[in-house]
A and B are shown apart, each in its own frame.
Chain A
């Protein structure tokens, strides 16, 4: 069953001389119990999408979509109060810089306890205090923090980034959400802590059937942990499909470049060998090229590329490109 179904999500920023389209008609669906990856570089609008889903974007941004359905209810057409209630109950978000997202003036334990709603504490009001304390300790154990006493009495700055991130996850899972949006959960972490965090998320996914939307720029993480992947470039969705399909047979030149730019990822690279890259840099939002936004950097761009390509689908693997790669003559995209 589709948990979240987004069609043609567009996020615009009106400025005095032009309308900046930061996210251009992005569609995606998250099924129950699925880990969906969203890959993109900085400025591709991946965090904007996460924020648009939970509705915490600044008022200046204009969010439109054909539909944004959460279990059959269109979030964009609901009154704000109702929408907030649904999101508060079912969706949690983990931000990328945990030590900056926690309140620096309150102890970690207080913040954690605050995030546990009354409804899941099966206790009478005089027993709540104790139940809440126990629940908070249990949550910390669940995310792999053994020394709960020390952590709960500490302020965020006293803890390391990895522990802060685990606390954030504990806060996110306190209400047993149906969907966790993880926005670069491991950007600032070491390799060993990173593996721990992903193991916690994966176990949640398997034990509680929680869906996870994993936002990152690292293809290695995507390949290890996700079932389906969407690749985003400058606010346009360029490719989506099963992760294994995308990695073995990328259709879009951008995806291909991302995969081959990681040494030793798909095929072995010789020591100190030149890596494959796309020329140029990511365009800024004010100077986006028309048509396919990869156009100026794309190795096989032709005249047709000034018209934005539509999403075309082949089995469950879709791509937005006029000249997709890795297709034999017979297999034309329909």
Chain B
């Protein structure tokens, strides 16, 4: 059986402003190849500007790659499969508060995701919302709440519910744990690990918190200035980093 997600020579250039006809380009991400198995977690680490967020956005389909293929379940993702992709790959952003619309009830936020991507009837949608909210540790009644009535940790759970409501295969966490308080963060980490077990999810974790990477991920990609400098199993990478850049990063973990 082929891997859940295969990425071949994915690459992204941005036109450089200020040059004649935007002919010069900045390479945000040099060609990159990796695979992700089912129920595994892949961590992407690197400094600011290393292209890790760009990679997350490319995978989620927020931006189009300059070249390269993303293959999900053996099928290359093209324009035609866009809808399937939105269902299967879901993205969670760093700041849950900013990513939820303040004037829309939690229920409608979740309902919109269903309306746009599925053909469920109204009753089914309401049931599904209730089930998903319970799954992330909230109550169905929370659907009637507005975002400002919930705390940061609960909002992050809502963001997670919005990702999970379409039964995805891959969830991308773009710095999603960075802004949380430590005791809440541990709760969310536990929740994520539980859901990985029960729903056979794969995670792509983009972060700069190395102890979480070590705890949660199976494989790690290290990016530096858009280039892949190292990729390995988590344990091996932390035990014996080969590239100098990774060594420096791991050393600064134990300041």
Q: Which residues of A contact B (CB under 8 A)?
A: 41-42, 160-161, 190-192, 194-195, 198, 217-221, 224-225, 257-258, 261-265, 269, 271-278, 281-282, 284
Judge whether A257 and B248 touch: CB under 8 Å.
no
Question: Given known contacts A41-B184, A42-B181, A257-B183, what 9 new A-B pairs fall within 8 Å (CB)?
Answer: A191-B210, A192-B47, A195-B252, A220-B211, A225-B255, A261-B182, A272-B215, A277-B186, A278-B183
Given A194-B255, A195-B255, answer yes or no on A277-B211 (Cβ-Cβ < 8 Å).
no
Within 8 Å by CB of A41, from B183, B235, B255, lies: B183
Bound state CA distance, A283 and B191, in angstroms? 20
Interface string of B216-255 (1 = CB under 8 A from A): 1000000000000000001100000000000011001101
**Which residues does chain A contribute within 8 Å of B152, judged by CB atoms?**
42
Query: Which residues in chain B, 143-173, are within 8 Å of chain A measured between CB atoms?
Result: 151-154
Judge whether A264 and B249 touch: CB under 8 Å.
no
A-B contact count (CB 8 A): 81
B185 interface residue per 8 A CB criterion:
yes
Within 8 Å by CB of A224, from B234, B235, B255, lies: B255
Residue from A191, A275, A278 with most neighbouring chain B CB atoms (10 Å): A191
**Which residues does chain B contribute within 8 Å of A276, judged by CB atoms?**
186
Question: Taking CB as reference atom, which chain A residue is nearest B235?
Answer: A271
**Which residues does chain B contribute within 8 Å of A272, judged by CB atoms?**
193, 215-216
**B side interface size, CB within 8 A:** 30
Given A264-B215, A274-B193, A277-B187, answer yes or no on A190-B208 (Cβ-Cβ < 8 Å).
yes
**Which residues does chain A contribute within 8 Å of B255, judged by CB atoms?**
194-195, 198, 220-221, 224-225
Question: Taking CB as reference atom, which chain B residue is nearest A277?
Answer: B186
Judge whether B253 and A191 touch: CB under 8 Å.
yes
Bound state CA distance, A93 and B1, in angstroms? 58
B33 interface residue per 8 A CB criterion:
no
B113 interface residue per 8 A CB criterion:
no
**Which residues does chain A contribute within 8 Å of B214, judged by CB atoms?**
263-264
Question: Taking CB as reference atom, which chain B residue is nearest A39?
Answer: B182
Judge whether A277 and B215 touch: CB under 8 Å.
no
Judge whether B215 and A190 touch: CB under 8 Å.
no
Judge whether B186 and A261 touch: CB under 8 Å.
yes
B126 interface residue per 8 A CB criterion:
no
Query: Which residues in chain B, 20-73, are within 8 Å of chain A measured between CB atoms?
Result: 47-48
Within 8 Å by CB of A258, from B47, B182, B211, B249, lies: B182
Query: Which residues in chain B, 74-111, are within 8 Å of chain A measured between CB atoms?
Result: none
Given A275-B189, A275-B190, answer yes or no on A264-B182 (Cβ-Cβ < 8 Å).
no
Within 8 Å by CB of B182, from A191, A225, A262, A269, lies: A262
Bound state CA distance, A41 and B216, in angstroms? 23
Judge whether B248 and A192 touch: CB under 8 Å.
yes
Given A191-B208, A192-B47, A272-B216, answer yes or no on A282-B182 (Cβ-Cβ < 8 Å).
no
B212 interface residue per 8 A CB criterion:
yes
Judge whether A281 and B153 touch: CB under 8 Å.
yes
Judge whether A264 and B211 touch: CB under 8 Å.
yes
Judge whether B252 and A284 touch: CB under 8 Å.
no
Question: Taking CB as reference atom, which chain A residue is nearest B49?
Answer: A160
Question: Taking CB as reference atom, which chain B residue is nearest A279?
Answer: B187
**Which residues does chain B contribute within 8 Å of A274, judged by CB atoms?**
190, 193
Judge whether B215 and A263 touch: CB under 8 Å.
yes
- Determine how close the nearest CB of chain A comes to the CB of B16; give it in whole angstroms: 16
Bound state CA distance, A191 and B248, in angstroms? 10
Can you list 18 A-B pairs, Cβ within 8 angstroms, ordered by A?
A: A190-B208, A191-B210, A191-B249, A192-B47, A192-B248, A194-B255, A217-B182, A258-B183, A262-B211, A263-B211, A264-B215, A272-B216, A275-B186, A275-B189, A277-B183, A277-B190, A281-B184, A282-B183
Given A195-B255, A272-B216, answer yes or no on A282-B151 (Cβ-Cβ < 8 Å).
yes
Residue from B182, B184, B214, B215 with most neighbouring chain A CB atoms (10 Å): B182
Bound state CA distance, A261 and B47, in angstroms? 25
User: Top 5 A-B pairs ranked by shortest CB distance?
Assistant: A261-B186, A41-B181, A263-B215, A275-B186, A277-B186
**Which residues does chain B contribute within 8 Å of A281, judged by CB atoms?**
151, 153-154, 184
Judge whether A192 and B189 touch: CB under 8 Å.
no
Bound state CA distance, A192 and B252, in angstroms? 6
Residue from B154, B183, B253 with most neighbouring chain A CB atoms (10 Å): B183
Bound state CA distance, A194 and B212, in angstroms? 17
**Which residues does chain A contribute within 8 Å of B48, judged by CB atoms?**
160-161, 190
Given A198-B255, A263-B215, A277-B187, answer yes or no on A219-B154 (Cβ-Cβ < 8 Å).
no
**Which residues does chain A contribute within 8 Å of B210, judged by CB atoms?**
191
**Which residues does chain B contribute within 8 Å of A195, judged by CB atoms?**
252, 255
**Which residues does chain A contribute within 8 Å of B249, judged by CB atoms?**
191-192
Bound state CA distance, A225 and B255, in angstroms? 9
Judge whether B182 and A41 touch: CB under 8 Å.
yes
- Determine how close the nearest CB of chain A comes to the CB of B155; give it in whole angstroms: 10
**Which residues does chain B contribute within 8 Å of A269, judged by CB atoms?**
215
**Which residues does chain B contribute within 8 Å of A263, judged by CB atoms?**
211-212, 214-215
